[in-house]
């Protein structure tokens, strides 16, 4: 029996000719990632275990993004712990305030993730880099500590679900709508510890930002990872960014999949997830008119430049509703700079948005957008669990950037066609 893309990457990094679902392997790592929340825990484990060196200062990335710019004394202490560790071991890829971005947008932008890589990160949305044809997955801080010291980690080889995309999308339908539709279809545990492998002619209709969004939310279906084939769009993205050799893997024709899910993109409508699970999906037409108090456009899921361009196209010449707070957060400093150059920042400010420096902030109810009891936000983030953005009596609706922008203008959930 042949192997899936994920299994081929795992076999390669384990030094094995082949692997199958359920095998336990020890694999070499190309990159270990941590942030300001998870790195301090990993540092504590690293020091208590007695480690005195890192396996490779060039293959560790520490990004201070979750509570930065620091919202309080505790967050400042967490950042100092991570900062001191990075300086102690001369970590090459350390990103502090001013150079920082939301980690899962920043690392691909900096060329730190490549096709065929084996990447772990102490953050659940590390699965984002599957958009590049890499195996990437979230781990706990203990695994991060071990990875930083040894450059290896243990894995159970996952079985796979094949997601076949066909057709071309309608206007305004994005990668966010595709992944929300899929999660609604299979459930938040529908791919539990499995690999979501995206294929089909419809993948070629998706730009890299759409693929990043889809891979980013594989974890919301319980998946170990999400992964896309490496094609001309992938190679165009990494060309000039990645300055080291890499290997693109392809699934075997006789690879074994537990399940095949087919999605016709031409039949897909604008989709949102209602509280309090990403799987609680509806089309925008089904929930049009639901009142909102806040709109958040950003995050590691939808804070890339194409996302902000889509939002700006909707907001241009319009005003945010008087009863809505709209917060726009570019995912990296480079995206922030592009917003300034292209006049997007002016559009956001003129429409009445708050335009922020890169931060995870409101996505996890950290800062710069927390909700109080009874408030509802529409957000381009990835989770809408109880209390995710503040008070446990608040609500979060997930959407794509164009829908979030239109809703901000209307004061309720709306499609750009409603304006």
pLDDT at 1 over 80: no
- Please, are residues 246 and 129 in contact by the beta-carbon 8 Å criterion? no
pLDDT > 90 in the chain, percent = 95
Q: Strands 24-28 and 152-156: what pairing?
A: antiparallel
Domain that residue 332 falls in: 270-418
Residues 210 and 91 occupy one common structural domain: yes
The predicted pLDDT at position 366 comes to 87
The CATH number of the domain where 276 resides is what? 3.30.499.10
Side-chain-side CA neighbours of 367 within 13 Å: the count stands at 14
* C-alpha distances in Å from residue 44, one per residue of 47, 140, 154, 301, 400: 5, 13, 21, 29, 38
Residues 408 and 296 occupy one common structural domain: yes
**pLDDT tens-digit series, residues 44-99:** 999 999 999 999 999 999 999 999 899 999 999 999 999 999 999 999 999 998 88
- Please, are residues 376 and 399 in contact by the beta-carbon 8 Å criterion? no
Q: Residue range 222-249: average pLDDT?
A: 95
Residues 66 and 189 occupy one common structural domain: yes
Residues 292 and 384 occupy one common structural domain: yes
Residues 242 and 348 occupy one common structural domain: no
**pLDDT tens-digit series, residues 40-49:** 999 999 999 9
Q: Which of 237, 263, 289 is a domain's end point?
A: 263
SS (H, E, C) 156-212: ECCEEEEEEEECCCCCCCCHHHHHHHHHHHHCCCCCCCEEEEEECHHHHHCCHHHHH
The predicted pLDDT at position 100 comes to 86
The predicted pLDDT at position 281 comes to 97
Burial 354-381 (b: 16+ CB within 10 A, else e): ebbbbbbbbbbbbbbbbbeeebbbbbbb
Q: Residue range 8-20: average pLDDT?
A: 96
Token couple for 1: 């029996």
Residues 236 and 299 occupy one common structural domain: no
Token couple for 77: 């202490």
SS (H, E, C) the chain: CECCHHHHHHHHHHCCCCCCCCCEEEEECCEEEEECCCHHHHHHHHHHHCCCCCCCHHHEEEECCCCCCCCCHHHHHHHHHHHHHHHHCCCCEEECCCCCECHHHHHHHCCCCCCCCEEEECCHHHHHHHHHCCEEEECCHHHHHHHHHHCEEEEECCEEEEEEEECCCCCCCCHHHHHHHHHHHHCCCCCCCEEEEEECHHHHHCCHHHHHHHHHHHHHHCCCEEECCCCHHHHHHHCCCCCCCCCCCCCCCCECCCEEEEEEHHHCCCEEECCCCCCCEEEHHHHCCCECCEEEECHHHHCCHHHHHHHHHHHCCCCCCCCCEEEECCCEHHHHHHHHHHCHHHHHHHHCCEECCCCCHHHHCCCCCCECCCCEEEECCCCCCCCCCECCCCEEEECCHHHHHHHHHHCECCCHHHC
Residues 55 and 123 occupy one common structural domain: yes
pLDDT at 25 over 90: yes
Angle, helices 39-49 vs 141-150, to 10°: value is: 60
Residues 143 and 213 occupy one common structural domain: yes
Q: Which of 242, 263, 284 is a domain's end point?
A: 263
The predicted pLDDT at position 98 comes to 87
Residues 11 and 159 occupy one common structural domain: yes
Residues 226 and 167 occupy one common structural domain: yes
pLDDT at 346 over 80: yes
Q: Residue range 296-305: average pLDDT?
A: 96
Q: Nearest to residue 324, comparing CAs of 353, 283, 367?
A: 353
pLDDT at 105 over 90: yes
Q: Residue range 133-160: average pLDDT?
A: 96
Residues 237 and 314 occupy one common structural domain: no
The separation between the first and the last C-alpha atoms of the chain, rounded to the nearest angstrom, is 53
- Please, are residues 398 and 382 in contact by the beta-carbon 8 Å criterion? yes
| Domains held by the chain: number | 2
Q: Nearest to residue 97, comparing CAs of 355, 395, 357, 309?
A: 357
Q: Which of 213, 230, 263 is a domain's end point?
A: 263
Q: How confident is the model at residue 257 (pLDDT cuts 50, 70, 90)?
A: very high
The predicted pLDDT at position 99 comes to 87
Place of tokens 């006789």: 254
The predicted pLDDT at position 133 comes to 97
Q: Residue range 187-212: average pLDDT?
A: 94
pLDDT at 213 over 90: yes
Residues 414 and 326 occupy one common structural domain: yes
The predicted pLDDT at position 363 comes to 87
| Average pLDDT value over all residues in the chain | 96
């Amino acid at each position: 029996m042949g192997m899936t893309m994920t299994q081929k990457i795992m076999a390669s990094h384990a030094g094995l000719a082949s692997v199958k679902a359920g095998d336990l392997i020890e694999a070499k790592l190309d990159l270990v990632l941590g942030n300001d929340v998870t790195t301090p825990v990993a540092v504590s484990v690293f020091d208590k275990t007695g480690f005195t060196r890192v396996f490779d200062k060039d293959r560790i990335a520490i990004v201070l993004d979750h509570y930065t710019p620091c919202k309080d004394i505790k967050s400042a202490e967490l950042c100092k712990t991570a900062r001191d560790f990075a300086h102690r071991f001369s970590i090459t890829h350390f990103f502090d305030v001013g150079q920082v971005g939301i980690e899962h947008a920043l690392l691909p932008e900096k060329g730190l993730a490549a096709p065929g890589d084996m990447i772990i990160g102490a953050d659940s949305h590390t699965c984002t880099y599957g958009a590049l044809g890499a195996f990437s997955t979230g781990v706990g801080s203990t695994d991060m500590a071990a990875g930083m010291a040894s450059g290896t980690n243990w894995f159970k080889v996952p079985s796979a679900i094949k997601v076949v995309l066909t057709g071309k999308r309608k206007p305004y339908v994005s990668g966010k709508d595709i992944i929300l539709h899929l999660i609604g279809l299979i459930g938040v545990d529908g791919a539990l510890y499995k690999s979501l492998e995206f294929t089909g002619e419809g993948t070629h209709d998706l730009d890299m930002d759409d693929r990043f969004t889809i891979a980013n939310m594989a974890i919301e279906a319980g998946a170990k990872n999400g992964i896309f084939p490496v094609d001309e769009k992938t190679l165009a993205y990494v060309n000039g960014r990645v300055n080291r050799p890499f290997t693109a893997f392809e699934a075997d024709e006789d690879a074994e999949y537990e399940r095949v899910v087919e999605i016709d993109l031409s039949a897909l409508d604008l989709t949102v997830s209602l509280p309090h699970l990403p799987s609680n999906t509806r089309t925008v037409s089904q929930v049009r008119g639901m009142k909102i108090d806040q709109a958040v456009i950003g995050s590691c899921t939808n804070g890339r430049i194409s996302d902000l361009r889509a939002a700006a196209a909707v907001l241009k010449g319009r005003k945010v509703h008087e009863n809505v707070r709209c917060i726009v957060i570019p995912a990296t400093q480079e995206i922030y700079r592009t917003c300034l150059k292209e006049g997007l920042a002016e559009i956001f400010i003129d429409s009445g948005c708050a335009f922020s420096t890169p931060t995870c902030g409101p996505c996890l109810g950290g800062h710069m957008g927390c909700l109080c009891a009874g408030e509802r936000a529409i957000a381009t983030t990835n989770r809408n669990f109880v209390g995710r953005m503040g008070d446990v009596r608040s609500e979060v609706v997930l959407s794509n950037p164009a829908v979030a922008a239109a809703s901000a203008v209307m004061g309720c959930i709306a499609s750009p066609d409603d304006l």
